[in-house]
Amino acid sequence: MFRLETAENPQTLRRIAIEPLTRVEGHGKVTLLLDDADHVHQVRLHIVEFRGFEIFIEGRPFWEVPISVQRLCGICPVSHLLAATKAMDLIAGYDRLTPTAEKIRRLMHYGQMMQSHALHFFHLSSPDLLLGFDSEPTRRNIVGVAREFPEIAKQGVFLRKYGQEVIRHTAGKRIHGTGAVPGGVNKGISRAERDEMRRDIDRMIEWALSAVHLVAELHRAKPEFYDHFGEFSSAMMSLVDADGAMDFYHGGLRALDADGGTIFDGVDYSGYQQVLEEEVKPWSYMKFPHIRSLGPENGWYKVGPLARVQTCDRIPTPLAEMERRKLVARGEGKPVMGTLYYHWARLIELLHATEVIRDLLDDPDLLGSDLMADKGERRSEAVGVIEAPRGTLFHHYRVDENDQVTFCNLIVSTTNNNQAMNEAIRSVALSHLDGKTITEGLLNHIEVAIRAYDPCLSCATHALGKMPLEVDLIDAEGTLVQRARRNMGPER
């Protein structure tokens, strides 16, 4: 499928564009090049918006960074807040958080995982899975799901609402909160807030388990389709804790190959540049990371739910671990690679998040008042890494003696999945579109493959190198008066 990245004679081919991509966060498009017999020669996922947080965060005081960078996104702001704050903990000289501060942060983060996974599955992806990939576009949405599956839609809405309430209690508000600060948190949890969250958590666990069973049944009913849709082999990467268990908040980097063999394990994420490298391509504002030792053609990988449930040795909550084992067993000793498995894995993680939230709410440390750590030696450089809903998220900063940021590098979850998403849509194009008359339903198959990764395209729009710019001044008659160019190279 890698050959479908660039066609040999693109000028002789017909171009089809899916623009904009729907039911994803951010702006993107897919282009396909086909010959006269509708055979596919090129498929690309393009990220067409540019935001440039890595540049304009430079010069800002480091304590502003966690609040600023979470404006990358309104769906997963907690992930950026916590990844940046973990880095700034070290910059400011805080090595170890108090038990109360860490558990409040974890509660905030698992609330974020819960609300984001519920939003993605029930609102954005379930219309395809429950109503059909080829169903009428005007009803293929959450309203259509609510009409035909009202109980499922209701559960999805309330699962997300519960996660947002957890964020509100821990971060101060549901979106773009300020609860995490370098060295700890600035808001404790009252007994009344704890009791309010505790009241409904058992129902949330029940609904999350029901959602896992819903997707598992789709695979059992049509295994040939669901197990192999968008299938391709790749490496996988995630954080795992010191015992190899799934941990969304902290851990070491582990990467496995397509057969489940270890590429690296227990890597301190502060040294991520020793194992990962980034590449840019001229047709997208999203970077292409890969495992350094394997090179750009062979070293790309998956992150996110499907990677996490297979790179970890276990999930440390009983219900989610039981469901994880059922998914892993489908591979008969090897990792499963079908793109639609992402939904199954995502809902297992949703279940895990609800179980962790329940356990944290029962932990007496959560109600403590010791919110800030003792300060130690200040640093000039630090990396913060967390498992965001969409996958492993890297924040890397350097700060000068005036406390101003001099360097920022972000590798967001969707960026880590860039090549994998391109491979997924190429697999679908070959299996479902090649040689066929193109219809809206078939094109939606391409979008289904992208949606399975739950991409956050706004988060992923960063660039290495210089940003080209061309501005034309045109008079009322349409005559070119002046042209200003920057970083465009020689004019042709």
Which domains are delineated in the chain? 10-49+419-486 (no CATH), 98-231+338-369 (1.10.645.10)
The residue to which tokens 């549901």 are assigned: 174
Is it the case that residue 153 has pLDDT exceeding 70?
yes
Per-residue pLDDT reduced to its tens digit, 364-404: 999 999 999 999 999 999 999 999 999 999 999 999 999 99
SS3 273: helix
Closest CA to 80 of 370, 388, 400: 388
The confidence score (pLDDT) of residue 489 equals 46
Q: Is cis: bond before 137, omega within 30 of 0? A: no
Residue 24, token pair as written in the block: 């994803």
Task: Find the mean pLDDT for residues 218-237.
Answer: 97
The pLDDT confidence band at residue 487, using thresholds 50, 70 and 90, is low
The confidence score (pLDDT) of residue 370 equals 97
Is it the case that residue 167 has pLDDT exceeding 80?
yes
The pLDDT confidence band at residue 26, using thresholds 50, 70 and 90, is confident
The pLDDT confidence band at residue 464, using thresholds 50, 70 and 90, is very low
Between the two ends of the chain, the Cα-to-Cα distance in Å is 33
Task: Find the mean pLDDT for residues 158-173.
Answer: 97
The confidence score (pLDDT) of residue 434 equals 97
Alpha-carbon gap, residue 397 to 375, rounded angstroms = 19
The pLDDT confidence band at residue 463, using thresholds 50, 70 and 90, is very low
Is it the case that residue 137 has pLDDT exceeding 80?
yes
Task: Find the mean pLDDT for residues 242-253.
Answer: 98
Per-residue pLDDT reduced to its tens digit, 263-300: 999 999 999 999 999 998 888 888 899 999 999 999 99
Question: Is-contact 286 414, C-beta < 8 A?
Answer: yes
Share of the chain above pLDDT 70, in %: 96
